[in-house]
Copies of this chain bind each other. A is one copy, B any other.
Amino acid sequence: MALKRYTEAWVDDVFFSIDATEHLHHETTPFQTIDFYASKTFGRFFTLDGLMMVTERDEFIYHDMISHVPLAVNPAIKKVLIIGGGDGGTAREIARYKHIETIDMVEIDERVVRLCQQYLPITAGMLDKDPRITLYFEDGLAYVKQVAPASYDLILVDSTDPIGPGEGLFTQAFYTHCFKALTDEGILINQHESPFFDVYREAMLKAHKKLKTVFPIHTVYQFHQPIYPSGHWLFGFASKKYHPLQDHQPKTWEAFGLKTRYYNSDLHRGAFALPSYVKDLLDHE
């Protein structure tokens, strides 16, 4: 069995590599290049345009943190919109809440979903099994632009970096449309890049600058994602009225009885306790 070393440049002189035991699939769609691999330590994983997206081994971290944080701040969330998230892991976690009524998922590239259903059932296996989930294969920016005001309690932007198909999901126009699409109780969580390496830090600061002009409440929270550059990754928490700590409802969330491998109520608070250099960066933006 020939090993193929998958290598990603985290920055132009820093690299992360995984020895793949198999290159399962390679395809170029109108939007991007998609590759699926198998490996010993990380299990199966896939990349878009050569950048690591999801592995079987550590996907629970990302999907716990994007999903459970907002539900522990507003446990009454009923209507959820997922932008991106083609691997299905975010929809899977949201679908664990029995009281949630609708989960609309807008993914620009249907092939990502279909290939994840084939190769990554751990994340995508739920997509065709839960009647509350509706898939839309279209551009996320165009979708939120035309949606009726106050359609959703929660929008989860589970996107790639702001280069290529993900670019529109980091614009002021997109955030403004999301604001309108949210109810007065609305929360937006978005993939918010990383503070450590220059290029990701710049993307983090740009997103923060835009979001705080649109939403009255905006901050970021952190988690350990080994496959992403530096391992130090962020989600943004933007909201019309709820503060992620002052309005945190750990008891209500714990009463849902969900078993989670990364998220818990202490960690919820801890995730918002940012390093001083990150706070300084955000404060000065």
Contact = CB atoms under 8 A, between A and B. Distances in A.
A1 interface: no
Interface in A231-277: 231-232, 260-264, 266-277
Given A39-B13, A41-B13, A266 B273 contact: yes
A230 B222 contact: no
Contact of A270 (B19, B271, B277): B271
A208 B61 CA distance: 23
A205 B11 CA distance: 33
B231 A260 contact: no
A2 interface: no
Contacts of A11: 41
A212 interface: no
B277 A261 contact: yes
B18 A17 contact: no
Given A16-B16, A40-B13, A224-B224, A261 B275 contact: yes
Contact of A275 (B18, B224, B232, B272): B224
Given A226-B230, A270-B271, A273-B267, A17 B15 contact: yes
A14 interface: yes
Contacts of A230: 224, 226, 231
A151 to B, nearest CB: 33
A197 interface: yes
Nearest to A60: B277
A215 interface: no
19 contacts: A3-B13, A11-B41, A13-B19, A14-B42, A15-B15, A15-B16, A15-B19, A41-B197, A224-B224, A224-B231, A230-B231, A261-B277, A262-B276, A264-B276, A266-B273, A267-B273, A267-B276, A268-B273, A269-B270
**What 10 pairs across the A-B complex have the smallest Cβ distances?**
A231-B231, A270-B273, A270-B270, A224-B232, A226-B230, A13-B19, A15-B17, A266-B273, A262-B275, A261-B277
